[in-house]
A and B are shown apart, each in its own frame.
Chain A
């Protein structure tokens, strides 16, 4: 039975990088993503009897990963209440700059925008945040988003729309600033 764990190592090595990237996008930082990935593979191992052998393990573990991220976001919110942070607290996450070839003023604005965007993301509900990330960062269809979050595709659509609405409202002053600079 020790062989179970050795065999499972192959699955962890194979699938954890992609789960990590998704977790990074949903949680917004590498440390939380790491925690979510570990929880995901632990949960998958404990629930392996529920895995339908005809299904794809990657898809199955991805679904568990999304749920672990939502649980982690809930836990974080319970721990600290609604976090209202103006600064970028996600220093560890490696993200490409929005526009690497832009001038210093524009770069500053891009950085400010990214910080505000993350802060605004942290104020979304867990489902809004996950739905928005899955739709616009992971490129999932509304149907897939609904399936992953165990809600109807209409509810998924509403969650994504609410997220867009809130983010747009919070980031509006920066768009105006950006237009003034141009």
Chain B
């Protein structure tokens, strides 16, 4: 009798009905080999149950890497400074001679251009937060969307179901307050308004999980127009994404 190859045995172990393969009834050798593969995979799955890190784990990781995180603006100017340190004297000597010739004509035009560029940069800096901030807000909107969708699709919620939803809402609520304040301060009324509405839903879910009882998520859905909020959130998130990319492009073009 021809035995199954190791590859065939592994492939069978990945099928739900693999153990019932007709060959195993006739061939105890292959049945044992199949059993070995299954045991190995079960032991592996059991070993994969890693315990949760401590609640302050993220803070510890951040504390460990914080000093190594460059401040983007500073890093760029420092790099420029180093470059000047190495090559500046040579360039300066050659440049002075040629600069003297064109300085007069150049001055008027460049002064005007520099003023324009400074105004544009200042305008961009006022209106657009950095890329990291975009990613953070995006992450917050993604998480909120997932929670709202969970609520939107929730039917009857037991106490066990409510716990994680309420605690997720509670976490989001805290971040949401900070982002709303930042959005309001940075003159982004659309985002501030959305975060305000989102905050109201999160308060309901986090502080009064009983409102989720027995399909009361339907009440939230209707009272707070959950579908509308979800739609608005997706539109704004896409807009924020496009804005982030646009801002980045602008930044790169300038540098």
Contact = CB atoms under 8 A, between A and B. Distances in A.
Interface size class of A (residues with CB under 8 A): 35 or more
A161 B7 contact: yes
A93 B37 CA distance: 25
B23 interface: no
B17 to A, nearest CB: 19
A20 B51 CA distance: 10
B10 A7 contact: no
A53 B50 contact: no
B98 interface: no
Interface in B41-78: 41, 43-53, 57-59, 61-62, 64-66, 68-74
Contacts of B36: 168, 171-172, 175
Given A48-B132, A138-B48, A164 B65 contact: no
Contacts of A54: 238, 241
A9 interface: yes
B52 A12 contact: no
Interface stretch (A35-43, A68-76, A144-152): A35-43
B61 A41 contact: yes
Contacts of B241: 53-54
Contacts of A5: 66, 69, 71, 132
A182 interface: no
Contact of A16 (B7, B47, B57, B135): B57
Contacts of B52: 17, 21
B45 A164 contact: no
B48 A161 contact: no
A137 B44 contact: yes
A51 B139 CA distance: 12
B39 interface: yes
A95 B50 contact: yes
Contacts of A94: 50-51
Interface in A1-48: 1-5, 7-17, 20-21, 24-25, 34, 37-38, 41-42, 45-46, 48
Contact of A98 (B6, B46, B139): B46
B29 interface: no
B218 interface: no
Contact of A25 (B39, B50, B73): B50
Given A16-B57, A95-B47, 5 more contacts: A20-B61, A42-B68, A56-B142, A164-B37, A167-B44
Q: Rank and list the top 9 A-B pairs by shortest CB-CB distance, nearest first.
A: A137-B48, A13-B58, A1-B73, A53-B241, A94-B51, A4-B132, A96-B49, A12-B62, A7-B136
Interface of B: 6-7, 10, 36-37, 39-41, 43-53, 57-59, 61-62, 64-66, 68-74, 129-136, 138-140, 142, 175, 238, 240-241, 244-245, 248
